[in-house]
Amino acid sequence: MAKGGKEAKQEAKPKESAAKQSPQGAVLKGNPCPVCGKKTLTLTESDTEVPYFGKIYIFAMICESCNYHKSDVEAAIQHEPAKYTFEISSPEDMKIRVIKSSEATVKIPYIGDISPGPSSEGYITNIEGILQRIKEQVQHLAAAEEDDDAKKKAKSMLKKIQRIIMGWEKSKIIIEDPTGNSAIVSEKAVKSKL
């Protein structure tokens, strides 16, 4: 107790740090962007616990100037390279969680692939999210296509994707990840060595 019966207050000074901690994780602002070079790139890192998979780290880079964006996910515990196969058979399957690293290849037979490469992203989504990403790619390619036959094929593929989403048609989704940082989180998913 201080004089006069009042408690003495000691103010804690915040530590200066290049990384700010937020409820979402670490945030670093003002970094140089690898595309435009301006110091408007924000780096973020957070983590989350995924049932039946474990803790994962989520990384992102976003530039406020040129809208450059790159993200990835990484398991806290190193997993073996793996292949996940899942039979999509109902609308309920659209809710199944999917973890896809930037190194993973996603295959949906007779529809399309999401292949790793320099601009490949890592993310957490669900089966429907994967199908929507492929749907957007097909729509983008169809809009740029000049050949009528190719446009018809794209339209047919879009209808097939929509039938799968609605649960009117079955399909498979296959994820192959040499880093082991991807998964289809469901008891129905078949995991095998890659």
**Tens of pLDDT along 127-167?**
999 999 999 988 988 888 888 898 899 899 999 999 999 99
Total length of the chain: 194
- When the candidates are 2.60.120.1040, 3.40.50.300, 3.30.1050.10, 2.60.40.10, the CATH number that belongs to 80-194 is 2.60.120.1040
Q: What is the mean pLDDT of residues 14-33?
A: 64
pLDDT for 94 equals 95
pLDDT for 24 equals 56
- Any idea where the domains of the chain sit in the sequence? 19-77, 80-194
Q: b/e map of 147-164 (b: 16 or more CB within 10 Å)?
A: eeeeeeebeebbebbeeb
pLDDT for 5 equals 42
> Which residue is associated with the tokens 């408007």?
40
- When the candidates are 2.20.25, 3.40.50, 2.60.40, 3.30.70, the CATH number that belongs to 19-77 is 2.20.25
**Average pLDDT of the chain, as a whole number:** 85
Contact 46, 28 (CB under 8 A): no
For residue range 8-21, list pLDDT tens digits in order.
Answer: 333 333 333 344 44
